[in-house]
Structure 1
Amino acid sequence: MAERFSFEATARGVRRVRFDAGADVVARGGRRHVERARRELAEYLRGERSYFSVPLDLGELPPFQATVLAQARRIRFGDVDSYAAIARRIGHPHAARAVGNALGANPAPILVPCHRVVRSDGTWGHFAFGGAMKTALLALERATPALVGSTTTRIACWRGCPHERRIRGDRRVTFRSSADARRAGYRPCRVCCPDPLSGPQQRRADDRSRT
């Protein structure tokens, strides 16, 4: 499926992700970001990556949309959040619909994980690449442990981190969340930094791991 995505990029990073929408649009200096985005997206779709490190160039977004997308980027692999919860956190508790519109216009779906935002009643809501893909992406994340730890170093990495790939098979242990890894006595990798964020997202991860 990864070959069906195309990208728009500048020297600063990826500006847009498209699905079944033609060739890449690459400004001078942007080719390396396109190649990296395509590689990381393919790894993600194979269940080999749980975070993206490719730079994004989203500096021209309207302030409200930029704030919403920044919140979406805080939602970790395997978690979901609601439009209403994001609206509350950005100080606009009655703006769930506006949050949905901002996410619907997300120029870089998947890299900015708007697919992890759902309605308060648990139904999926809109996704730029279609409901079937949103269902598939969320199923992939539910089925894939987000982190891999080394029983030798007691360090945990996001799946796809260069250090994660060096962990031998007989020394690997997987975790659903960084909170789970921390409780098991593992510390976060300094390269990919899988440390739970403070605030609502950390509480959600902790609450889920106790259920």
Structure 2
Amino acid sequence: MDTNAIFETLRYRISTLQYPPGSALKEIQLSEEFSVSRTPIRQALQRLELVGLVQPVVGHGTIVTGIDLASMRHLLQYRLNLAKILDQFLEMSDPSEGLALLRQSLEANTKLASKFDSQRFAEISHDVRWTVWKHISNPFMAQSWIDTYYLASRVWFICLPYEQNRFLDLQAQEIDLLIQAFERSDPKAVAAVVHDTLRSWITEIWRSISEGRSPIDMT
């Protein structure tokens, strides 16, 4: 695996809480797992530090960063504002591949109602995010959109065990509406679904945290 593949794998694990906040990432262990030298591991960890997911701690190695609610509020507000202008950067001339992926995601999400699995839920969420991302034509917007998603996703995956049914419903509704928007090749409709769903996610997250239904401390 090259540095980029290792980076994406580690970023995915962090964002889905396979490496929860406070976890130590050891270069030696990772180099053995990926069967590479420590150089690409070190480079991947440096990239993770740049996007705010890890930080070096003297004597402890590289540590997955915690979730600061004040920063998270700013981040989610930023993503909401990005969503408002997303349609200006979407290229929807050929939505066929995205449509196929969304339909697969909706089917997979439906199956979770009878047999829930948090990691599968996270995979579906990531697939939906990447499906929209592939249609963002501006590279700067695309980079900002996906980087901030990975930073923000941890907070709702932390809340997920306490809001399972509500989050399943929200995800199903989002995918269904995205399918309709993709079928019309309508960038404004896609952006509206993304924005409105994100606003609903944020409302549910803060409600869950404020009611003490998640392990995140409000203070």
Same fold (TM over 0.5): no
Q: TM-score normalised by the shorter chain: which range applies?
A: under 0.3
| TM-score of the superposed pair, with normalisation by structure 1 | 0.26
| TM-score of the superposed pair, with normalisation by structure 2 | 0.26
Higher relative contact order (CA 8 A, sep 6+): 2
Q: Which has the higher helix share?
A: 2
Q: Which has the higher strand share?
A: 1
